[in-house]
Each structure stands twice: as C-alpha cells, then as structure tokens.
A and B are shown apart, each in its own frame.
Chain A
Amino acid sequence: MGVGNLPMNVELKHIHKHFGKVHANNDIVLNVPSGTIQGILGENGAGKSTLMKVLSGFIQADSGEILLDGHPVTIHSPADAIQHGIGMLHQDPLDFPPMRALDNFLLGHSGGLFPDRKAVARDFKRLAAQFDFSLDPDSYVDSLTVGERQQLEILRLLWLGARVLILDEPTTGISAIQKAKLFETLRKLTAQGMTVIFVSHKLEDVEVLCHTVAVLRAGKLVGEVKAPFQTKKLVELMFGKEISLGARQAAGPGRSVLELRGVAIEDIRLRMSDINLSVRGGEVIGLAGMEGSGQGPFIRACAGLMRTVGGRVLVNDRDLTGKSYHAFKRNGVSFLPASRLEEGLVPGLTLTEHFVLSEETKGLFIDREGGRKLAEDRISSFNIRGTPLSTVESLSGGNQQRALLALLQDPLSLILLEHPTRGLDIESTIYIWNKLKERCKQGAAIIFISSDLEEILQYSDRVLVFFSGKVSSPLDASKTTVEQLGNLIGGKGWESLKTEKAHG
C-alpha cells in the first residue's frame, strides 16, 4: 500500500468557474503526466485555489472536464476525490488538533465498527519509516509543528491510496529543515510514479522543486514553463509586468518610543527571557520566524496584551510594565491583529460607526453629521471601496485592512501589526505600506510580523529572528539576505549571531 499505488495522469480540459461576476477559472487546460511535479504559480486571487478545489471535489466546475488516465470523471466531494486517488494537503492542515496522531490518521478510513488500532499503528509506523518521518502515533496533534502535521497528512493520504497529491502553499509556516525534508519526500514519491501538484506563490520554491510550472493570472492560464526556469520570465507571467516595490528608505534617528529591558515572556509552550530592545520613532522592525516561534507573544507583550513575567517595558520613557493594553493605547501604542474580522473589526457595524468608535467622544449623544463627514473623509483618503454605511464584513480583505489603518488614532508612537498584508494582492500591499511609511515619517515606529521574508527585508530597518523561544539580536536588514534569514528561522547559523551580539 502507499508507495505501491499505481501512477496516474491528470488532465484538465477547459475548466470554467464563476463566482458571481468573478471569472475565477477561465478555460484552464492542463496536462500533468504521472511521475512529475507540476507547479501552479500565481498571485493571491489568480485562481489557483479555485482550480485545486475543483480538482479535489470541494466545488464543481461550471463547465469543463477532468480526465484521470484518460477517463472522464465527476468528483462530487473531497472524500470522492480520495476514492479516485486524489489527495489534497491544505495550507492549514485539515486535522483535529485535540486528538491523537493515530486517531487523525485513522479518521476517514472505512472499515468495521471497531478499528484495529494495533494494525493501523503498524501501518502508520511502516509508512513513517519509509519516509524517515519521526512521528509518534500517540502524540496529540496540537503538540506537533505545522511541518509534522503536514507529514501526518501526507502519510494519511498515501495510506488511503492517493496517487495524485495536491499541496496548497505547503512551505508557509514550516522550518527550512522541514521544507528540505518535504521536498525530498515529494521527489521520492514522483520517482515512484506519483503525480504531485504544487501550488505556491513563492518563486524560489517552485524553481527548485518543480518539473513544469503553470502560471495563472486573473483566472487564466497564461503560460507553462519547463525546468530550468528563468526567474524573470516567471515574474513577468505572474504579474504581467515588471514590479518595482519602491526603494528602501533609511530611518532618521528619532526619540525612543519603546524600550524593553530584560523582558521575560511566557506562554503555555515557550518561555523567552532577557529580551533587550530599544525602538526609535520612524523605525520599522520586522519579526521573522516560523509560526509559533515566539513572535506572537512578543508583539502582544509590546502592546500590553500579554503580561510579561520579568523585566521592564517602557513606552515613550514611561514605565508601563504590567499595565493593560488600554494604558499602552493611551500612550500612543496601537495593535492591528492578523484576523481582521475576528479581532480587528466589528461585523454588523458600518464604517461610520467604526470611525465614530475610534475617535475621542464629546458629550453623550452621537454626532451623526460629524460621523458621516469623518467617514467620507477617511474613505476617500484611504481609498476604501465602500460607503459610510457599508458594513465591514461586506468589504474585501484589502479594503478591510485599509479600514483598519484608517481607524488608527492620531498621533501614534508605535504601531504593532501581525501579518499586515497577508492575503492581499500586490496593489493593496504596496498601498498599505505607503500608508504605513507616512506614519513613520510622522514619527511613529512600526513593529510587524510577517511570514514573507522578502516583505521583512524590503520594509524593515532592523529584523528580529525568533526560533523556538530564542530571540536574535537586531539584524541590520540592509546587510541580511533572504537566505541568511531563512537559515536563522530554521535554527541554523545562530552561533555566529551570538558572537556578533557579544561584540556589539
């Protein structure tokens, strides 16, 4: 079982899919022979996910055909897809965190009323050994890293007889070591005849791994390229033009807005201690690291949203150690969370109501006329596609992020952001960063988390790297490369850092 699965060719013929007015997939034709790794490259919103959802049975195409080994098939559901031998690994692995790895592995496998756990555990261990995965079937999934959860899902799909493996942005949130392991596994699988479809918007991943790359843009397949790849060609296909992200600007020295002195932070999983950092107005600090490496608690501690267990936190030279977020906010600190609709905005309330809430209030009764003017003003200056009476949930992701920025109070000394441009298209990303840079010019400092290393190096002055509870000393972004950063995130090269710190 598993690796003995028969090879399979996948053909997509003239796939069309509409969502309302959006033509998400427009006449996609693709042929993936068995034994190859097919890359699907494209910006967010290019139609990659839609295409993969069609292939994995989540949604049905409006028209077009799917052929497996030359036979047309209709795939009704994800469970149906796996019956046909198509398994999908989702970006956020679709597993059950509070349950054991073995139960996760077993769930969805058909058979008698009482599963034979011993036999299943044997299969599990045999498969894991085959790929050199060190997974304990008795461990709970919420104690595993994203990389390990991916491994678990791959094993499960192979065990269920997958012959085609679709991976959706699998390199987001896993370490460099785990990435290398994943690529090795995928190469091994294709060598044995498996078909792999690798969906990504990361050029470097696609370039090193794939045999062929299909590029999608605005719902259309705009080109197919075979290895070896030319980066320039791929970028052109992806964006349709050359993109300039604007030159980096060095920050002028401002006054100290945030100072951490020997700070210790602790959550259920990790403990960080003796963090020292001084941030000046106008400065941008990027926080790099795998998800769950400590940057989340760190940024929340800088906002007063998480209590520090040692050391001092000073904002504008005022000691705010142990104070609440609202005390930080009164001192000019603002925090913008990653999940916009869950934590940042209030679904059900209009843009006007949001702007009214964000302002200082005068008197008891709402000044409706003033609120409307304020909203119109902000909507035009932040270029939000919506009206004063639009509810926030009716806005697109990019417009929600603009609304969040428009809600920031005036003046500000420190803006803390989690994944400020996650899920946004390139145009919104540039717009958001221009707005943020304006804030910097006005003297605010910015600290942000991002999983996109290029974004971190592009916009930061200094970078802090997090690796399982360790925090690096600040690195000069202009002297750091994506490669170095990638290694550090994966836990490599920390020795040289420590000496650097000793000297500095």
Chain B
Amino acid sequence: MVRSNRWVNLGFQLAALVLALLFTTLILLAAGAPPFDAYANILRGAFGSMINFTDVLAAWVPLLLTTAGLLITFAAGLWNIGVEGQIMLGAIFTTWVLRELQDTSMPPALIITLGILAGMIGGALWAMLAGALKTFGGVNEIFGGLGLNFVATALTLWLIFGPWKRPGVASMSGTVPFDDKLALPAFTGLRLSPWALGIAMIAIVIVYLLLQGTYFGLRLKAVGKNPKAAFLLGIPTWQYMMFSFVLCGLFAGAAGAMQVVAVYHRLIPSISSGYGYLGLMVAMLINYQALWAAPIAFFYAALNIGSIQLPIVLHLDSSLSGVLQGMLVLFVLLVEGARQRLMKKA
C-alpha cells in the first residue's frame, strides 16, 4: 500500500516535469524559436565541456549554500525573501575585509578565511534586521525582506560607484579585481575551487543533521508549525525565529563570500546572481526536505549556466532558464494540489 503510493507520487511528479517542459516548449514556439535546439543548447552549455561542467558546479556552490540556509527559515515557518540581500551583504563584507587587508603582510589564507567569516557575519546581520522588523515591528518578513533587498542593491551600487570605485571611471563592471593570491585556490585551468565545493557540501550536511536529528531542529519545526503551542510548550518562540534568521543569514552570507573569493574576485552590481530567489524556488520544489537539496540545486545551477549561450547562439534571452525553473515549481505545486484533491475524493 505504502509502496504503491510512493509510485503514484512519483508519477505525479513526473507529470509535473512533463507539463513544465510542455509549457516552456509552447512558449518557445510562440517566440518563434526551435525548442529542441534551445534545449540542446542548454544541455551543451551545461555539460558540453569540462569547463562548462565545472562552471555548473561553481554556480551550484552559492545556490546550495543559500538553499541550506533557507531550509532553516522555512522550518521556522518564515518566508525569508530577504535572502537575496543577505547574499549581497555577505559579498560586501567579504570585499570590505579583503580590501582592508590586501596590502598587509598577513598570509593570504588568513585574509580569505577572515573575508569569508566577515561575509557570514554580514549576511547574518542583514537577516537580523529582517528578523527584528518582524519580531519587534510586526512587519511581515516578505515585505521587510523585499525592502531590504532593494536597499542592499542600492548599497552595492553606491559602493561600486562611490567609495570603492575603480580609479578613473566607475562602471557596472564592479570594483578593482583582487590579486590572484586572494582567490580561493581553484583546480588548474578551471574556475572551480575544491574548497568552495567542500564548504557547500558541509553546509547542506550540517543543515540536514540540524533539522532531522537535533532538539533544536525539532523545536524550530514546532515554532514553524504552531508558534502559540510551541510557546506554551516552553520554547522561546521569537528567539528561535530570530535565531533561524541569523543562521540563514550566515549561510547566505557565505554564499555571497563565495561569489567574491571564488567566482568574481571583486564586487559587481549583480553579485547575488539571483541565487536568493532561485534558492527559494529550489526549497519549494524539494518540499523543504534537505535530502533533495543537492541534486535539485545542481539541476537549477545547470539550467542557469546552460542558458548563458542562448542569446549568442539562438538570439534568445537567457531568462528562458528562469521560465523553465519557475514553471517546474509552479507545476509541482499545481500537480501536488491536484493529487491531494484526487486522493481525498478516492
């Protein structure tokens, strides 16, 4: 009985995948583009060469870190849309520490470590702000977080065009790149750092254990599912919510730090690369189960990287990957609703 149910569920999930592909194909046809060429192009762009594949992994790192953090806030019943800004603040703090320390005699490894730690703190502080707005100001975390995202964007732009501008003319290309020695060591000839990969994997394992096996995780879930009852059971509710914001901010800040020390080696205007919103989608798609975070985040990273070539090769906008990613979540939600409805009737 249980087993057949599992197969039925798998069938529904496959149906969601098929529907999402079908609709995206229709959209491609509507745009007058050859669908199969587009998909093949995305596949080639993601897995066509070692460089492409390692680029996917490099994108997987911040996405997985962000998703890991979001699983904590989701467990506490919070929609931390402000995660996007938390990534940016992580990147800003990391850049700041690297700029301050790059001309000192400190060993580069120490500077990088301090930079990453600073990034985590930056993300956590920004998350705390959203948490404080919710706890002490009654501002829903969705709106508080969104507002803070826009403020974080402004802060990034202001730094790039103001205090941290390149000598001569400031531009959208960002701040002056750091010296190679301040980059996380990468595989030779590739843009992928084994250190970054390791950090991301450790992060998701920590979050998995935290949510599945610890008293803290269980209490957090109780707060997320029913804050009033959790409070009466003796759990300090608002402190737990606040703490989950801080934890998520730490992970998001780490993602921002990775963008600086492992990917861009400077601060750029779109430093978060939209991984915050993407992480929210990944978390929704895996129904907030940490176990599935790694593969699904990898799939989404592959779509992102795979679509980069679309404008050049097929003259299509690279936002196609976003359409497909969103359609998948949308259809998973719709199909899940349909499944529940059918099960109830049966």
A contacts B directly (C-beta below 8 A): yes
Asked whether, in the complex, the Cβ of A356 is within 8 Å of the Cβ of B218, the reply is yes
Name the CB-closest residue of B to A345. B229
Within 8 Å by CB of A356, from B215, B234, B235, lies: B215
Asked whether, in the complex, the Cβ of B229 is within 8 Å of the Cβ of A364, the reply is no
Tell me, yes or no, whether A335 is within 8 Å of chain B by CB. Answer: yes
Provide the residues of chain B in CB contact with A329, threshold 8 Å. Answer: 234
Asked whether, in the complex, the Cβ of B233 is within 8 Å of the Cβ of A358, the reply is yes
Asked whether, in the complex, the Cβ of A348 is within 8 Å of the Cβ of B225, the reply is yes
How far, in Å, is A323 (CB) from chain B's closest CB? 13
Asked whether, in the complex, the Cβ of B222 is within 8 Å of the Cβ of A343, the reply is no
Interface size on B, residues (CB 8 A): 19
Provide the residues of chain A in CB contact with B216, threshold 8 Å. Answer: 364
Asked whether, in the complex, the Cβ of A357 is within 8 Å of the Cβ of B222, the reply is yes
List B residues 224-242 near A (Cβ within 8 Å). 225-226, 228-236
Asked whether, in the complex, the Cβ of A365 is within 8 Å of the Cβ of B226, the reply is no
Provide the residues of chain A in CB contact with B232, threshold 8 Å. Answer: 325, 335-337, 343-344
Asked whether, in the complex, the Cβ of B229 is within 8 Å of the Cβ of A346, the reply is yes
Interface bits A332-370 vs B (CB < 8 Å: 1, else 0):
000111000011111111000110111001011110000
How far, in Å, is A445 (CB) from chain B's closest CB? 19
Name the CB-closest residue of B to A367. B215
Give the dominant DSSP class at A's interface.
Answer: mixed
Provide the residues of chain B in CB contact with A349, threshold 8 Å. Answer: 218, 221-222, 225
Provide the residues of chain B in CB contact with A344, threshold 8 Å. Answer: 229, 232
Tell me, yes or no, whether B265 is within 8 Å of chain A by CB. Answer: no
Tell me, yes or no, whether A61 is within 8 Å of chain B by CB. Answer: no
Interface size on A, residues (CB 8 A): 25
Tell me, yes or no, whether A326 is within 8 Å of chain B by CB. Answer: yes
In whole angstroms, how far apart are the Cα atoms of A274 and B215 in the complex?
A: 43
Asked whether, in the complex, the Cβ of A343 is within 8 Å of the Cβ of B214, the reply is no
Name the CB-closest residue of B to A359. B215
- Evaluate whether A357 and B233 lie within 8 angstroms (CB atoms) in the complex, with A364-B216, A365-B214, A366-B215 already known: yes
Tell me, yes or no, whether B219 is within 8 Å of chain A by CB. Answer: yes
Within 8 Å by CB of A346, from B214, B215, B222, B236, lies: B222
List A residues 279-331 near B (Cβ within 8 Å). 325-326, 329
Asked whether, in the complex, the Cβ of B230 is within 8 Å of the Cβ of A346, the reply is yes
- Evaluate whether A353 and B226 lie within 8 angstroms (CB atoms) in the complex, with A325-B232, A326-B234, A335-B232 already known: no
In whole angstroms, how far apart are the Cα atoms of A345 and B235 in the complex?
A: 13
Asked whether, in the complex, the Cβ of A347 is within 8 Å of the Cβ of B218, the reply is no
In whole angstroms, how far apart are the Cα atoms of A343 and B228 in the complex?
A: 5
In whole angstroms, how far apart are the Cα atoms of A363 and B213 in the complex?
A: 11
Provide the residues of chain B in CB contact with A361, threshold 8 Å. Answer: 215
Name the CB-closest residue of B to A368. B213
Provide the residues of chain B in CB contact with A335, threshold 8 Å. Answer: 232
Asked whether, in the complex, the Cβ of A357 is within 8 Å of the Cβ of B219, the reply is yes
Nearest first, the 10 A-B pairs at minimum CB distance are A346-B226, A343-B228, A361-B215, A348-B225, A346-B222, A346-B225, A346-B229, A365-B213, A357-B233, A364-B214
Q: Please name 30 pairs of A and B residues whose Cβ atoms are closer than 8 Å in the assembled complex, sorted by A.
A: A335-B232, A337-B228, A342-B229, A343-B232, A345-B226, A345-B229, A346-B221, A346-B229, A346-B230, A347-B226, A348-B225, A349-B221, A354-B233, A356-B218, A357-B218, A357-B219, A357-B222, A357-B230, A357-B233, A358-B234, A361-B215, A363-B215, A364-B214, A364-B216, A365-B213, A365-B215, A366-B213, A366-B214, A366-B218, A407-B233
